[in-house]
């Protein structure tokens, strides 16, 4: 779907994929459990196994590799995908599916990380000295900044998913579920879109940490454009769902992503 597609207020309409207005989970004795058809255990076990292999290789080869930042980068990506599924399963079981690992995160996502890995490995081959955090003071500062952004970004993204709970979904909701409430507290009191804020800075952090100048610029451009459009699109539905309460929230809390719907243009999403 075109992420700039104008939102329509379908507050009271039924979602054809979700006619009951609940999520995909099933209710047993008052508790929500994941919907088994959307959670094939073989696929989930395989995803967990593959992540385990990636973590095992990254850690096991740490002493043998020249550019150790690369191992940590693989570790950071593995932890990100693990937490996407784990936190959804733990705090939002009605919405968890085997896709919650976010391995199918789109062509741009796969291309960007393949590009980043290629850049890191090619530069390792041809300019090995540049690929050391200890090459110069600037290298050290850039690497450390990248590492801090990875930790901070992952923390904020995870806290967003925990705080929003049932109101969080990996897809932008076009109809409001009965359990979808406006969240403005906790990490949502700091940033209006904390999971996007977290991912944006996490991803840029990975490229600083990898000392990847080309990928850093590419990630910055691609991610900024993506989140600018996504937030505009998502906020149209949020205004339709929560009306004045959401508009009021936009005037008080910014996104933390530079120049994306800052408080200075609080009603830009209503264009
Ligand atoms: C992928 S989640 C991202 C949530 C939020 N944009 C963030 O970055 O933390 C998308 C879903 O969250 C819902 N959502 C976004 N902000 C919300 C808020 N403050 N309160 C409740 N639901 C929200 C949207 O309706 C959408 O269906």
Q: Which of 89, 111, 110, 91 minimizes the C-alpha distance to 100?
A: 89
Q: Is the ipTM of this complex over 0.95?
A: yes
Q: For domain 26-270, which architecture applies?
A: Up-down Bundle (1.20)
Q: Report, as ranges of residue numbers, the positions in the chain whose pLDDT lies below 70.
A: 1-24, 262-271
Question: Residue 34 burial (CB < 10 Å; 0-12/13-18/19+)?
Answer: buried
Token couple for 6 = 């104008």
Residue among 234, 235, 249 to mutate when testing ligand 1 (max atoms within 8 A of CB):
234
Task: Tell me, using a 6 A CB cutoff, whether residue 238 lines ligand 1.
Answer: yes
With a 6 Å cutoff on the Cβ, whether 200 touches ligand 1 is no
176 near 224, Cβ under 8 Å? no
Rounded to two decimals, what is the model's pTM?
Answer: 0.88
Reported as a single tens digit per residue, the pLDDT across 112-165 is 999 999 999 999 999 999 899 999 999 999 999 999 999 999 999 999 999 999
Q: How far is CA 217 from CA 47, 76, 125, 148, 197, in A?
A: 31, 20, 21, 19, 17
Which pLDDT score is estimated for 181? 97
Q: Whose CA is nearest to atom 12 of ligand 1?
A: 168
**Residue 263, pLDDT score:** 45
Domain boundaries, the chain: 26-270
Ligand 1 centroid from CA 124, angstroms: 39
d(CA 222, CA 201): 13
Q: How far is the CA of 194 from the centre of ligand 1 (A)?
A: 9
What is the reported pLDDT for 23?
64
Instruction: Render pLDDT for 75-100 as a digit per residue (tens, 0 to 9).
Output: 999 999 999 999 999 999 999 999 99
Identify which of 136, 158, 151 has the alpha carbon closest to the alpha carbon of residue 202: 151
- Atom 16, ligand 1: which residue's CA is nearest? 193
Our mutation pick for probing the ligand 1 site, out of 97, 168, 203, 236, counting the most ligand atoms within 8 A of Cβ, is 168
CA dihedral 51, 105, 87, 147 (to 10 degrees): 70
């Amino acid at each position: 779907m075109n992420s700039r597609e104008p939102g329509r207020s379908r507050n009271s309409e039924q979602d054809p994929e979700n006619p009951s207005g609940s999520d995909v989970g099933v209710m047993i004795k008052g508790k929500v459990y994941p919907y088994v058809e959307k959670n094939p255990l073989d696929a989930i076990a395989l995803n967990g196994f593959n992540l385990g292999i990636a973590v095992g290789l990254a850690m096991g080869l740490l002493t043998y590799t020249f550019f150790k930042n690369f191992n940590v980068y693989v570790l950071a990506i593995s932890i990100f995908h693990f937490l996407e599924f784990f936190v959804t399963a733990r705090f939002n079981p009605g919405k968890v599916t085997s896709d919650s690992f976010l391995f199918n995160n789109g062509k741009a996502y796969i291309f960007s990380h393949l590009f980043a890995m290629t850049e890191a490995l090619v530069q390792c081959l041809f300019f090995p000295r540049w690929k050391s955090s200890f090459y110069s003071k600037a290298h050290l500062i850039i690497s450390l900044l990248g590492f801090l952004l990875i930790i901070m970004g992952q923390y904020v993204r995870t806290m967003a998913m925990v705080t929003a709970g049932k109101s969080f979904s990996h897809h932008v909701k076009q109809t409001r579920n009965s359990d979808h409430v406006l969240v403005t507290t906790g990490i949502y009191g700091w940033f209006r879109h904390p999971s996007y804020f977290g991912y944006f800075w996490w991803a840029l952090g990975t490229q600083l940490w990898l000392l990847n100048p080309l990928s850093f610029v590419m990630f910055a451009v691609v991610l900024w454009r993506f989140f600018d459009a996504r937030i505009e699109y998502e906020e149209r539905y949020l205004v339709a769902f929560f009306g004045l309460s959401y508009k009021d929230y936009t005037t008080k809390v910014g996104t933390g992503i530079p120049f994306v719907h800052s408080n200075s243009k609080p009603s830009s999403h209503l264009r």
